[in-house]
Structure 1
Amino acid sequence: MNVLEQARAVGDAVLYEGYLLYPYRASAGKNKVRWQWGVLMPPSYASADIGEHASARVECLLEPLAHTILHVKLRFLQTRTRLGWDEAVEHEIDFELPLSELPLESPFHVPGELEGTNELSGVLTARVDPLDGPFGGSRLRVELRNTTSWPADGVREHALRHALLAAHLVLGVDTGHFLSMLDPPEWAKPAVEACTQERLWPVLIGDTSRSTVILASPIILYDDPAIAPESPGDLFDGTEIDEILTLRTMTLTDEEKREARATDPRAAALVDRVDAMPPELLERLHGAVRSVRPVEPSVTVAGVRVTAGSHVRLRPNLRGADAQDMFLTGRAATVRLVLSDVDGGTHVAVTLDDDPGADLQHAHGRYRYFSPDEIEPLEVAE
């Protein structure tokens, strides 16, 4: 997957975050208050007093080369009202902006061609300014504004039909690169602190230090976000666990599934996909650990070398830990793996000695994880 495909995949998750929540029926209370992320209202309705806005702005740092061209991909949803339910229509608008010609204002228009949709209009503004100091670089500012004309009646549900929903930007350069706003080089940190973000947050795609592509998302993300390869399809709730939502959907009654399918074509496709999911695909959802990796399989605790097979006693640090860990204090366990995370921290994976399913847990790679200061070696230091 190249960086643009990765940006699109993460952007799709942003587009449909909260679009329709379990149990995927229009009658569910949680599905009667919708469209929370990246909502740019028509100016006649927008007001800071009620937390509704017509514009968003992103600023990021760029090290351009001569004749660099900025490519902007604007993506958003538009509501389409059919049978009393607002479906989503995807829109994607591309802008090609030579940096040498900035600042520029680029208006856009979406005709209300489909039944149940309204005309939309907006403007994208971009400017670039050189940074002070000897290191070069530039600050890029891109602003997105909904300029749709609509005689506001004060009803949010009506205003949403004239809004840009889940609006986000994919920014790319053909030469040069963007710098990370989360972990910039030392010389760029003052410039990063001077940047202002308004309802859009810039993260690198494809790397965590510099890249030719940035996703400006209404949801705060880390650099180089990606969709888990185990995920078989959108469940419209990236804050939940795919396995849990899939199992919950499987438990819906036939009548509940009929109502969900009748609510929205995307809900119908979701329910159909879950109903047809083979067991081996469901098993893939059970979990994958990517943030840790095996290291030289030992760690020294209280002068004792702890490695796979070592016997320890658990002494969980209860502050900031899982509350259920209090029930593990003093329990004997066997170390199965010593792991290192991406920040260089060490973690010890164990199974409980008095758990009759310990060997089965080990066979499936299901462990409890503790830091070295939360275990007490049962062997005596030499």
Structure 2
Amino acid sequence: MDHVRRIAQAVLYERHLPWPPDRHPWAPGGLHPPAAGGAHAGGPWQMQTQCLVEAGPADTVDVHVRFLHVITREVARARGGELEPVAELSVDGTRHRAGQEAREREEAVSGLELGRLAGAPRVMEIDVPADQEAMWLIGADGPAGAVLRGWEELRGRVEVRAEPLRARLFRLTVRVANTTACRGAARAEVWKHTLVSAHSVVHTRGGRFVSLLDPPEKLRPLAEGCRNIGTWPVLVGRAGERHTMLSAPIVLHDHLDVSPRQPV
């Protein structure tokens, strides 16, 4: 799955990390809290992936949902046994600045039999509690200060279901929703409760996915009937492989190569 992470880093995450949250609150792939839509032009709070998989009822799928979580970074200087907030602090030639960064989160469920998903969907909860961590800065003369990283609560829901269409053919649906209760209406506050660059990766064991960009003619009507909301699934891996789908909030092409010479 390393190639999928390289694609996410190259064409999804790098689009968001440099953006100040007060300027780009609804970047592509950002699933914000549902209550914030009315205050901020109805930005999306859920996405849906639908694709076709040629497989039997005993074949399985693994589902990974990944996103970035905004982290607030504060810097404090040690003075008189206490920590004093500062905009930046240099310790032994290294400069530490207050600001924001992002941390990847991932939720996954494996070994889901398609036949069982047809009878009852599988639900996975996203539950990231609010928390804070400290990194102490030790200089030549002892403790010089600390970098404090904190994040807000994130909650969400992932639902996976399958629908048999014909012998050895299923329509797989993955829905991802942000269910966080966000108390603040300011854009910067909502951004902290957003699933940034949310995308899903689906892998099948024993089956093969059907390209939605270039499906076989006999499956084209069914492929065109797949309803994708806020995301689009493409095949990833070596050319010709059909075991893994990446569903991203931007339109990519099958078997994307993220080498420096390959345009995205």
Within a 5 Å distance, the mapping from 1:8-23 to structure 2 comes to: 8-13=5-10, 14-20=12-18
Q: Which of these two proteins has the greater Rg computed from alpha carbons?
A: 1
Secondary structure, in 3 states, of the residue corresponding to 1:70?
Answer: strand
Secondary structure, in 3 states, of the residue corresponding to 1:116?
Answer: strand
Find the aligned partners of 1:8 and 1:147 in 2 and give their Cα distance: 25
Residues 7 and 169 (structure 1), Cα distance of their counterparts in 2 relative to 1, 3 Å cut? same
Q: Is the 8 A contact 2:16 2:197 kept in 1?
A: no
Find the aligned partners of 1:187 and 1:49 in 2 and give their Cα distance: 43
> 2:78 corresponds to which residue?
none
How far off its partner does 1:98 sit? 2.6
Q: Which of the residues 51, 59, 68 maps onto 2:59? A: 68
Higher relative contact order (CA 8 A, sep 6+): 2
> 2:83 corresponds to which residue?
none
Residues 57 and 48 (structure 1), Cα distance of their counterparts in 2 relative to 1, 3 Å cut? farther
Matched, 1:139 2:130: no
Within a 5 Å distance, the mapping from 1:93-172 to structure 2 comes to: 93-96=107-110, 97-102=112-117, 103-114=121-132, 115-132=149-166, 136-151=168-183, 153-172=184-203
How far off its partner does 1:101 sit? 2.7
Which amino acid in structure 1 is aligned with residue 182 of structure 2?
A: W
Structure 2: runs of 5+ lacking an equivalent: 75-97, 133-148
Matched, 1:200 2:253: no
Larger % of helix: which?
1
Within a 5 Å distance, the mapping from 1:303-382 to structure 2 comes to: none
How far off its partner does 1:119 sit? 1.4
> 2:68 corresponds to which residue?
77
Residues 109 and 37 (structure 1), Cα distance of their counterparts in 2 relative to 1, 3 Å cut? same
Secondary structure, in 3 states, of the residue corresponding to 1:50?
Answer: coil
Find the aligned partners of 1:73 and 1:154 in 2 and give their Cα distance: 30
Moved more, 208-217 or 179-188: 208-217
How far off its partner does 1:99 sit? 2.1
Larger % of strand: which?
2
Residues 168 and 47 (structure 1), Cα distance of their counterparts in 2 relative to 1, 3 Å cut? farther
Which amino acid in structure 2 is aligned with residue 116 of structure 1?
A: G
Matched, 1:181 2:171: no
Q: Is the 8 A contact 2:155 2:180 kept in 1?
A: yes
| 4+ aligned runs moved over 6 Å, structure 1 | none
User: 1:7-28 deviations in whole A, cap 9, x for unaligned?
Assistant: 111012212224216xxxx7xx
> 1:88 corresponds to which residue?
102
Secondary structure, in 3 states, of the residue corresponding to 1:131?
Answer: strand
Within a 5 Å distance, the mapping from 1:206-355 to structure 2 comes to: 206-207=237-238, 211-229=242-260
